[in-house]
């Protein structure tokens, strides 16, 4: 079951990444690199950032353990869904009403004319956030039932919708293309909702709006854990933002080198570590809820050993063939052999931390399943703090490569603190058996 679930998630992620790469190539070819591509990417970045922090990370980490332990699952899930969905709809309406102010706040460097162009795109794209929350909510219910295929492959629907939007609008004015792309984002969100609704109905999970009165307010504890999980999830994105800001003081191209190097690094992390954690988390949460910690530990040991093998191979291949990989993916047009060498070095710096980041993700699931989201958030914040310290120490002598290695060092600290919270003795005993 575990291996099948990991394979399902991995192939789904790979399918989505391939389509995403095709989407990026088409966007560059049809829309180009200009003010119109800038305003679309900035408009899409805001809901995408919220999606990564709240929906894909924090919500699932807080919801699945609470749902597993709830004695009133239908009532609990209904209340949480309606409250958060209502909040996101109100937030989306506010963004629509004040889209110019939002655009000005997010894109500080834009002049007024560009902000006026961007504002309508902000209003359209932001509605993707409540859509993807619906998808994430249903995905969490499906994951609890050990159904992963729908969510794994539905992520490709957004890229498909945007590719179709690009092909339809390819001969239109650039500004008009940005609107087609924005509506393509919403179409992708709707497609994801429809396929999840079908899976929810097939598994007889449609009773989320059936209310009964209960005195216990389980959602209060959920929101406390959700807030902590949100803080923990946001540190990764804050770290990337700080790296980008620091790289802006370095030579031209440093930001791009970090971006491309990190894009390649994220592929094995997503294919193996994230795919494994998605499959493993509901199993661990159920085992702990049933007071069967031995089963949870056995699952974690098996997953860690499988993951260690995949990540070790990925690290070896990535470091020894770094220039070949970067050249194959990016060296064409304005991307020169010098750019390849610089990006390849940064990729190697990132890949040194692939194993601690990946294995640490597995053991953090123990904390989430135990509803220790606040402790996990503290660990993430400590790791972020050390990342900033290492970045400031290494940026001057090593440039962008120093920033990438600072991220790797923070990954080792994150791993150490996570294992410490899990228990060093428990960790050693688990692998001696």
The region, left, alpha or beta by phi > 0 then psi within -120 to 50, assigned to residue 250 is beta
Q: Which of 19-23, 50-54, 236-240, 349-353 has the highest mean pLDDT?
A: 349-353
For the ranges 48-62, 211-225, 257-271, 371-385, which has the lowest average pLDDT? 211-225
Average pLDDT value for the chain:
83
* pLDDT recorded at residue 127: 92
Query: Which residue has tokens 């339809």?
Result: 168
Q: What percent of the chain has pLDDT over 90?
A: 27
> CA torsion angle for 418, 424, 427, 433 (degrees, to 10)?
180
Could you tell me the pLDDT band of residue 212, with boundaries at 50, 70 and 90? low
* pLDDT recorded at residue 402: 93
pTM: 0.77
Q: How far is CA 171 from CA 22, 91, 160, 185, 347, in A?
A: 18, 34, 19, 19, 37
CB 381 within 8 A of CB 299: no
Could you tell me the pLDDT band of residue 62, with boundaries at 50, 70 and 90? confident
Could you tell me the pLDDT band of residue 147, with boundaries at 50, 70 and 90? confident
Q: Which of 122-126, 215-219, 241-245, 425-429 has the highest mean pLDDT?
A: 122-126
Could you tell me the pLDDT band of residue 55, with boundaries at 50, 70 and 90? low
Q: What is the DSSP letter of 71?
A: S
* For residue 25, pLDDT beyond 80: no
DSSP 170-190: TTS-HHHHHHHHHHHHHHHHH
* pLDDT recorded at residue 365: 86
Could you tell me the pLDDT band of residue 207, with boundaries at 50, 70 and 90? low
Three-class SS string for the chain? CHHHHHHHHHHHHHHHHHHHHHHHHHHHHHCCCCHHHHHHHHHHHHHHHHHHHHHHHHHHHHHHHHHHHCCCHHHHHHHHHHHHHHHHHHHHHHHHHCHHHHHHHHCCCCCHHHHHHHHHHHHHHCCHHHHHHHHHHHHHHHHHCCCCHHHHHHHHHHHHHHHHHHHHHCCCCHHHHHHHHHHHHHHHHHHHHHHHHHHHHHCCCCHHHCCCCCCCCHHHHHHHHHHHHHHHHHHHHHHHHHHHHHHCCCCCCHHHHHHHHHHHHHHHHHHHHHHHHHHHHHHHHHHHHCCCHHHHHHHHHHHHHHHHHHHHHHHHHHHHCHHHHHHHHHCCCCCCHHHHHHHHHHHHHHHCCHHHHHHHHHHHHHHHHCCCHHHHHHHHHHHHHHHHHHHHHHHHHHCHHHHHHHHHHHHHHHHHHHHHHHCHHHHHHHHHC
Residue 356: other Cβ atoms inside 10 A: 21
pLDDT, tens digit, for every residue of 97-127? 998 888 877 766 667 888 888 889 989 999 9
Q: What percent of the chain has pLDDT over 70?
A: 90
CB 376 within 8 A of CB 229: yes
pLDDT, tens digit, for every residue of 150-166? 888 888 899 999 999 99
Mean pLDDT along residues 71-84:
83
């Amino acid at each position: 079951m575990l291996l099948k679930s990991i394979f399902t998630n991995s192939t789904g992620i790979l399918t989505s990444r391939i389509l995403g790469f095709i989407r990026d190539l088409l966007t560059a070819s049809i829309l180009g690199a200009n003010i119109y591509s800038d305003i679309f990417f900035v408009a899409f970045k805001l809901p995408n950032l919220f999606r990564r922090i709240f929906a894909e990370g924090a919500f699932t980490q807080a919801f699945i353990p609470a749902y597993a332990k709830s004695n009133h699952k239908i009532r609990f899930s209904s209340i949480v869904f309606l409250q958060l969905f209502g909040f996101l709809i109100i937030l989306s309406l506010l963004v629509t009403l004040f889209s110019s102010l939002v655009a000005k706040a997010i894109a500080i460097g834009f002049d007024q004319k560009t902000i006026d162009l961007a504002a309508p795109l902000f209003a359209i794209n932001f509605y993707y956030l409540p859509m993807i929350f619906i998808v994430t909510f249903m995905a969490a219910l499906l994951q609890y039932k050990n159904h992963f295929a729908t969510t794994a492959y539905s992520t490709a629907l957004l890229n498909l919708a945007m590719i179709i939007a690009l092909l339809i609008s390819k001969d239109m004015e650039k500004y008009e293309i940005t609107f087609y792309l924005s509506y393509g984002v919403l179409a992708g969100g709707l497609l994801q909702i429809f396929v999840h609704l079908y899976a929810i109905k097939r598994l007889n999970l449609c009773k989320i709006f059936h209310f009964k009165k209960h005195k216990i307010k389980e959602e209060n504890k959920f929101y406390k854990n959700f807030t902590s999980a949100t803080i923990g999830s946001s540190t990764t994105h804050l770290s990337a933002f700080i790296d980008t800001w620091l790289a802006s003081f370095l030579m031209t191209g440093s930001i791009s080198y970090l971006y491309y190097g990190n894009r390649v690094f994220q592929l094995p992390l997503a294919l193996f570590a994230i795919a494994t954690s998605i499959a493993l988390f509901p199993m661990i949460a159920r085992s702990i809820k049933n007071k069967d910690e031995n089963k949870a530990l056995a699952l974690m040991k098996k997953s860690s050993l499988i993951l260690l093998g995949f990540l070790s191979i990925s690290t070896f291949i990535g470091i020894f063939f770094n220039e070949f990989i970067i050249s194959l993916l990016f060296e064409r047009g304005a991307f020169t052999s010098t750019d390849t060498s610089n990006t390849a070095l940064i990729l190697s710096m990132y890949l040194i931390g692939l194993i601690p980041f990946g294995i640490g993700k597995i053991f953090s699931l123990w904390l989430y399943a135990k509803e220790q989201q606040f402790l996990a958030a503290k660990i993430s914040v400590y790791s972020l703090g050390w990342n900033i310290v290492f970045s400031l120490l290494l940026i001057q002598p090593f440039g962008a490569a120093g920033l990438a290695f600072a991220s790797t060092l923070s990954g080792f600290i994150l791993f150490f603190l996570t294992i410490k919270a899990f228990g060093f003795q428990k960790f050693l005993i688990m692998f001696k058996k």
